[in-house]
Amino acid sequence: MAQVQPNANVSSGGVPPSLPESVREEVFVIIPAYNEGEAVGAVIEEVRAIYPNVVVVDDGSKDHSADVSAKAGALVLRHAINRGQGAALQTGIDFAIEQGAKYIVTFDSDGQHRVEDIPALIDPILNGRWDISLGSRFLGGVENIKPSRKFLLRLGVLFTRIVSRVRITDTHNGLRGFSRKAAKRIHITLDRMAHASELIDQVRDCGLPYGEVPVHIRYTDYSKAKGQRSTGAFKIVFHYLFKRMTG
C-alpha cells in the first residue's frame, strides 16, 4: 500500500513558508464555482491579493457567479452547461497548462480554504521534494465540522485505503497543489464528485512523488448549507466503482 509522508516543514499550528513574488506569479489558482455568487467574490479578492493568476471555472451557474468573479479580477471560464466539479477542475487545469502555469493549486469557492495554506502546498514542490501536495484537514485543523460529515470523511479515507491502496489521511480535500509536470499527467474523467477518488488513483499511478500537507478548513454556515448531502456518498461510490469496472 502506498504511504505518503506529511510535509515536515509545516506543522499544524506553524507558520507556513512564504513564496517569493516570482514564484507567486507562476502559481495558477483554480476555483471551480457553481452558484457561488454569494461567496466567490470575497474568496477571489483574498487569493488575488497574493496570487495574481486566479482562474474561476463557472460551471454553468444560474446565478451571477461569473460576473462576480470577473469583477473581482479573476479569469473566468464558463461551462455553457453544468458538468460537475471534476469537469470544472480539469477545465481549469487544462487552461492553466496552456497558459504556462508552473504551479497549479485547486481551491474551493465557498470560503472554506485559507490562502495562508497555499505556500505550504507549493513549498515542497518548489524544493523538489515532491510534485503533488494533497491538503489534509486531519493533519492540520478543521473548524465547525459536523460529526456526521467528519464520520463520512473518515469512511472515505478507509474506502481509499481498501480500494485504492493509498494510505492518506484526507481523501476528499479540494485543496491541492501540482507541479506543471504532475498537472499534465492528471486527466480527471469523472465529472462529478467522484473525481476526488479518481484523482487519488491517478496520483498513485502517475509515477511522481506526492505527499500530504497539513491545511486548515473552516466550515461556515454558508459552506455547510452549500455542501453535499450525506446521501451523495453513495452516488460517489457508485460512479467511482462503475468507472473502475468499465474503464
Half-sphere exposure of residue 20: CA atoms within 13 angstroms, side-chain side: 4
> Residues 38, 45, 46, 94: which binds other proteins (CB under 8 A)?
94
Using CB under 8 A as the binding rule, whether residue 102 contacts other proteins is answered as: yes
95 vs 222, which CB is nearer to other proteins?
95
Cell triple for residue 57?
471555472
- Pick the piece of the chain touching other proteins (CB under 8 A) from 63-71, 106-114, 139-147, 198-206: 63-71
Using CB under 8 A as the binding rule, whether residue 65 contacts other proteins is answered as: no
117 vs 191, which CB is nearer to other proteins?
191
Extended strands (E) in the chain: 2-3, 27-33, 53-58, 75-78, 103-106, 132-143, 166-167, 176-179, 210-218
Query: x/- site string to other proteins, residues 157 to 186, per CB under 8 A?
Result: -----------------------xx--x--
Using CB under 8 A as the binding rule, whether residue 62 contacts other proteins is answered as: no
- Helix 195-205 crosses helix 232-246 at what angle (to 10 degrees)? 40
Distance CA 213, CA 123 (A): 10
Distances (CA, A) of 41 to 32, 37, 77, 110: 13, 7, 15, 10
Instruction: Give contact residues for other proteins (rule: CB under 8 A).
Output: 25-26, 28, 52-53, 55, 57, 67, 70-71, 75-81, 83, 87, 90-91, 94-95, 98-102, 180-181, 184, 189, 191, 242, 246
